[in-house]
Amino acid sequence: MDHGTRGELIHRLAEAIGAVSTPHPVRVAVDGPPAAGKTTLADELAVAVRAQGREVIRATIDDFLVPRAQRYRRGRYTAEGCYFDAHDHAALRRVLLDPLGPGGHRRFQAAIHDGATDTPLSPPAVTASADAVLLFDGVFLLRPELVDSWELRIFVSAPFEQTVARAHTRGTAPAGSEIERSWRERYIPAQQLYAATAHPTALADFIVHNAQPHHPSWEAGSD
């Protein structure tokens, strides 16, 4: 287990990305529970990787949601609905992960759905450079449907109770009791289901312990 400053963590992860050698873009998963700090970490990594002179593609699982009616077909507050029904993994692979992977044509789309308006998106396809880096944050990224789509897998860990507290401080989060119910009945049980079935920390190349974001610790995953 390594401990250090935030800057040291970002440097170590950027170094690991730079050490990956592939003839196609490097696809990096930044996985972990809601409010664990995935998006912040991916954004910080993007700055560091761009400073190395590489093209960065930033994308998120939030832009690969399925329509709300399908997402909540089992009910709004169910772990199974969150884990099985929320995201379009086939589309994610088709328009983003596979084109950037081995033998891919590198023409990709980074989003298919606008969660705020619950409407489909169809942005123009963009061509990535061969040495680009995809930094993709989101939940459940090391599940069986996706685990082989990454060259580097980062799992951001934080205590569940802490993620609830962080959610309360977010300006965009639903208020009060809705946050509590969403976390207690949907998000946390879904993460427990994910851990029990997919074992993401055993699949991660790096586990970042993010209880104290300014003084994180990290460890290399098991081979």
Domain extent at residue 104: 2-220
Radius of gyration of the chain (CA): 17
pTM of the predicted model, to two decimals?
A: 0.94
**Rounded distance, CA 89 to CA 152, Å?**
18
Tell me what pLDDT residue 63 has.
Answer: 98
Structure confidence by residue, pLDDT tens digits, 20-45: 999 999 999 999 999 999 999 999 99
**Rounded distance, CA 217 to CA 211, Å?**
9
Q: Tell me how many domains the chain contains.
A: 1
On whether the CB atoms of residues 72 and 115 are closer than 8 A, the answer is no
Alpha helices (H) along 52-187? 68-71, 79-85, 89-92, 98-100, 160-169, 176-181
Task: Give the residue among 29, 40, 34, 88 at the shortest CA–CA distance from 64.
Answer: 88
Place of tokens 């009945």: 185
Structure confidence by residue, pLDDT tens digits, 141-196: 999 999 999 999 999 999 888 888 888 787 544 556 788 888 999 999 999 999 99
Looking at the chain, which runs of residues are DSSP E strands?
A: 2-3, 26-31, 56-60, 107-108, 113-114, 119-120, 126-127, 133-137, 152-157, 206-209, 217-220
- Looking at every residue in the chain, the average pLDDT score rounds to 93
Residue 98, Cβ density class (10 Å: 0-12 exposed, 13-18 middle, ≥19 buried): middle
CATH of the domain at 182: 3.40.50.300
Structure confidence by residue, pLDDT tens digits, 94-145: 999 999 999 999 999 999 999 999 999 999 999 999 999 999 999 999 999 9
Go through 63-89 and write b for each residue having 16 or more CB atoms within 10 A of its CB, e for each that does not. Answer: bbbbeeeebbeeeebbbebbbeebbbb
